[in-house]
Amino acid sequence: MSKSDTSISINVKHAATVNETRIRVRYADTDQMGVVYHANHFIWFEVGRVELLRQFGFSYKDMEREDGCFIAVIDARCRYKAPVHYDDEVIVRTYLKHVREKVLRFGYELRRTESGELLAEGETTHIVANAQMKTRTLPEKYMRVFRAAVGKKNVEASS
């Protein structure tokens, strides 16, 4: 699940700025409509976000514990393009859309692994907070990497 699995045609530069993580749909994710319940997409976005950070060389766990940086969601949106079914394998593509000292915005695409079909698109906006949930600035070691990564979504590789 946590593998950053960059597909064959994607070059190194792409690999550094877009994370691709595979999720297997669980029975628990479905509802009685026979498809994935819509709140679960946001959980998958979170999985992708954490794996993108790991790909950047950071552990979100350590961001919290060692640097006292909490990435709290202030806005979340998802546009649902196609139903997702039990046992489907889904690729979560995550990239940084925007970064400022106290604000981060991530973008997401969910695609069916088998067909490449676009299942959903979304974005989440976060403020950087300390353990007391007050806003703070991101340490420079993160800013440097995040700034370099912003906007480097190779759109041509996404389909």
- Residues in contact with 83: Cβ distance below 8 Å, sequence separation at least 6, in sequence order: 33, 35, 36, 119
Q: Is 63 in the site for its own copies (CB under 8 A)?
A: no
CB of 30 to its own copies, least distance (A): 4
Beta bridge partner(s), residue 111? 91, 118
CB of 19 to its own copies, least distance (A): 13
Question: According to the 3-state scheme, what is the secondary structure of 76-88?
Answer: EEEEECCCCCCCC
**Residue 31 designated active-site:** yes
Q: What are phi and psi of 145, to 5 degrees?
A: -70, -45
- Contact between residue 42 and residue 76 where contact means Cβ atoms under 8 Å apart: yes
Alpha-carbon Rg for the chain, nearest whole angstrom, is 16
Q: Which stretch binds its own copies (CB under 8 A): 11-19, 36-44, 101-109, 148-156?
A: 36-44
Considering only residues 50, 84, 110, 138, which one is a binding residue for its own copies as defined by CB under 8 A?
50
Per-residue interface string for the shown chain with its own copies, residues 121-150, x marking contact by CB under 8 A: ------------x-----------------
Q: Is 33 in the site for its own copies (CB under 8 A)?
A: yes
Chain mean position to CA 55? 11
**Residue numbers of the site for its own copies (CB under 8 A)?**
1-2, 22-24, 26-28, 30-35, 37-40, 42-43, 46-47, 50, 59-61, 70, 72-80, 83, 86-87, 89, 133
Q: Which residues are identified as catalytic?
A: 31
